[in-house]
């Protein structure tokens, strides 16, 4: 009984995330220069809070526990390193200042996150997680194979990535709302 109403009362958080991602994606595509100025900070915050949400989500759903723990911790650490730079991260950042290194770091993160989301998708039988994991994996491979060229088209790539993630979040939000209403009706 403790979960009665959970889906029907929290679906809007996924919808809000989807809307924000759609705006972010549109900004990257239609205003690439202005968007890139704050992109690193925004992405860092997104990873940081995404990791926190993943870890907090473990209190409600323990499926694929270790994949979520690793993914959540990785997101928190990388997001904090990017969004809240300190002396150590600035020193490391200066060492990797050339264009290709940034793409390679993002490739490694996308590959790892993609693998973890694929594992989570298979373990939970959630095709949306698996699909997003496959997208991340392909994105990571593309970044790895085209590191130096990627920085030239990075705003477009980030825009497409954000729009796909936004549409996925909106789809899942309305799916959760519908499922929540069904569960609430059955529980009554």
Model confidence at 104: pLDDT above 60: yes
Query: Contact, 155 vs 165, CB < 8 A?
Result: no
Kindly give, in sequence order, each residue whose CB lies less than 8 Å from that of residue 105, ignoring residues fewer than 6 positions away.
Answer: 96
Q: How far apart are alpha carbons 119 and 70 in whole angstroms?
A: 12
The answer on pLDDT for 98 being more than 70 is no
Which tens digit of pLDDT belongs to each residue from 145-157? 887 677 777 788 8
Looking up tokens 């200042």, which residue turns up?
Answer: 97
pLDDT at 86 over 70: no
* CB contact at 8 A, 175 and 127: no
- Which pLDDT score, from 0 to 100, does residue 5 have? 67
What pLDDT is stored for residue 94 in this prediction? 41
Span of 9-18, 106-115, 123-132, 157-166 with lowest mean pLDDT: 123-132
Neighbours of 179 (CB within 10 A): 13
Q: At what angle do helices 32-57 and 147-187 cross, to 10 degrees?
A: 40
Residue 4 phi, psi (nearest 5): -60, 125
Each domain of the chain, given as residue ranges in start order, spans 9-187
**What is the predicted pLDDT for the residue at 91?**
41
* pLDDT score of 166: 94
84: which DSSP letter? S
Q: At what angle do helices 6-30 and 32-57 cross, to 10 degrees?
A: 160
Q: What is the pLDDT of residues 36-74, one digit of tens each?
A: 767 767 777 888 999 999 999 999 888 888 888 998 998
């Amino acid at each position: 009984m403790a979960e009665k109403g959970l889906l029907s009362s929290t679906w809007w958080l996924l919808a809000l995330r989807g809307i924000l991602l759609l705006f972010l994606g549109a900004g990257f595509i239609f205003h690439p220069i202005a968007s890139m100025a704050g992109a690193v900070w925004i992405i860092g915050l997104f990873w940081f809070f995404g990791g926190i949400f993943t870890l907090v989500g473990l209190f409600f759903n323990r499926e694929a526990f270790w994949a979520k723990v690793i993914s959540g911790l990785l997101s928190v650490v990388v997001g904090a390193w990017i969004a809240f730079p300190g002396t150590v991260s600035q020193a490391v950042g200066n060492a990797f200042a050339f264009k290709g290194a940034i793409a390679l770091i993002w490739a490694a993160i996308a590959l790892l996150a993609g693998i973890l989301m694929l594992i989570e998708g298979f373990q939970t039988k959630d095709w949306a997680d698996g699909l997003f994991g496959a997208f991340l994996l392909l994105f990571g491979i593309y970044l790895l194979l085209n590191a130096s060229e990627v920085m030239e088209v990075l705003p477009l790539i980030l825009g497409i990535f954000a729009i796909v993630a936004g549409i996925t979040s909106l789809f899942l939000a309305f799916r959760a709302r519908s499922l929540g209403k069904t569960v609430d009706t059955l529980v009554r």
